[in-house]
Amino acid sequence: MKKIMIVILAIFSILIVSCSKSDNNTSEKLILVGVNFPSYDLLRTLNQGTENSVSMLLPPGSESHSYEPTPQDIIKLSKSDLFVYTGGESDEWVNKVMGSLGTKLETFKLIEAVPSVLEAHSEAMEGEAEEEIDEHVWTSLENEKLLASKLAIKLGQIDTKNAELYQENAKAFSLQLDALIAEADEVIANGKRKVIVFADRFPLSHFVNEFNLEFYAAFPGCVHESEASAKTVAFLIEKVKEEKLPIVFHIELSDSKLAKLISEETGCKVGEWNTAHNLTREQFDSGITYLDLFKQDLALLKEALN
């Protein structure tokens, strides 16, 4: 796959250089691209009331960690006024593409705008023991506030005539986030327990840190482990039984096999926690937002803690 990408980059870099020089966006409207759903949602939120074009690079319904840009994606990026991306392990390809563009791409990296948190590990978890930075910064609501405020400044620098509007949109979003934080605090404070179990990968270190929740999961971060060992499975089953947990979670767009197995063994319910990497095509077309997803997750969390 990597070799194919290098060939694609070589073929298209010449084309892109000539394209981007002659077809520079001369209209007043900005072309803004977000790599995945969280980046896209932030851009869309901050651009309410503007005529700018906001799009998502990742096709809805696809797995964000195995994404490779198509030649069309690279051309799209070369014509953008700002590209917002995570800046972690999953979009290391961005550096290669930027090197081949021959023209400077304006970017905003989520991971550099918020405090770093290491991938959280729990007992009997699979995968490498080495500690890595958790790139899923958007799973913290406090981070979302910080991201919106810093991205609003960046947008205002590129598009001074709308600078005030970006600030207002960031403030309105921040107030909505504050209301959700208060709601989450209440759910957690009134919960009978503080522990959740994920029979899946666990890209939620920022989230559990923010709300002081305990967790057990099969894999750290978003590593591509396909099968959990018998030891891990037995441990998670035991945890669900011991804590009498009503829900075992899996993340969105996952096969949820392990969660179903644990559910069969323990009688608990299976719940999908949407960590917002990406949406299904249907969700995307319906205009669902980051805030909508968090509200759904929070309703399930309330059930899981009681």
Q: Give the footprint of Zn ion on this chain (CB under 5 A).
A: 203, 222
Residue 264, classed as helix, strand or coil, is helix
> Do the Cβ atoms of 113 and 38 come closer than 8 Å?
no
Q: How far is the CB of 141 from Zn ion (least distance, A)?
A: 18
DSSP string computed for 257-284: HHHHHHHHHH-PEEEEE--SS---HHHH
Q: How far is the CB of 293 from Zn ion (least distance, A)?
A: 14
Q: How far is the CB of 15 from Zn ion (least distance, A)?
A: 31
Q: Which one, of 80, 67, 74, 79, lies nearest residue 32 by Cα?
A: 80
**Closer by beta carbon to Zn ion, 222 or else 262:** 222
Q: How far is the CB of 145 from Zn ion (least distance, A)?
A: 21
Nearest residue to Zn ion on Cβ basis: 222
> Do the Cβ atoms of 262 and 13 come closer than 8 Å?
no
**Closer by beta carbon to Zn ion, 58 or else 304:** 58
Q: How far apart are CA 225 and CA 202, in angstroms?
A: 12
**Closer by beta carbon to Zn ion, 67 or else 211:** 67
Q: How far is the CB of 76 from Zn ion (least distance, A)?
A: 23
**Closer by beta carbon to Zn ion, 203 or else 271:** 203
> Do the Cβ atoms of 291 and 176 come closer than 8 Å?
yes
Task: Please give the single-letter amino acid code of residue 112.
Answer: E
**Closer by beta carbon to Zn ion, 127 or else 203:** 203
Q: Which one, of 215, 189, 187, lies nearest residue 202 by Cα?
A: 215
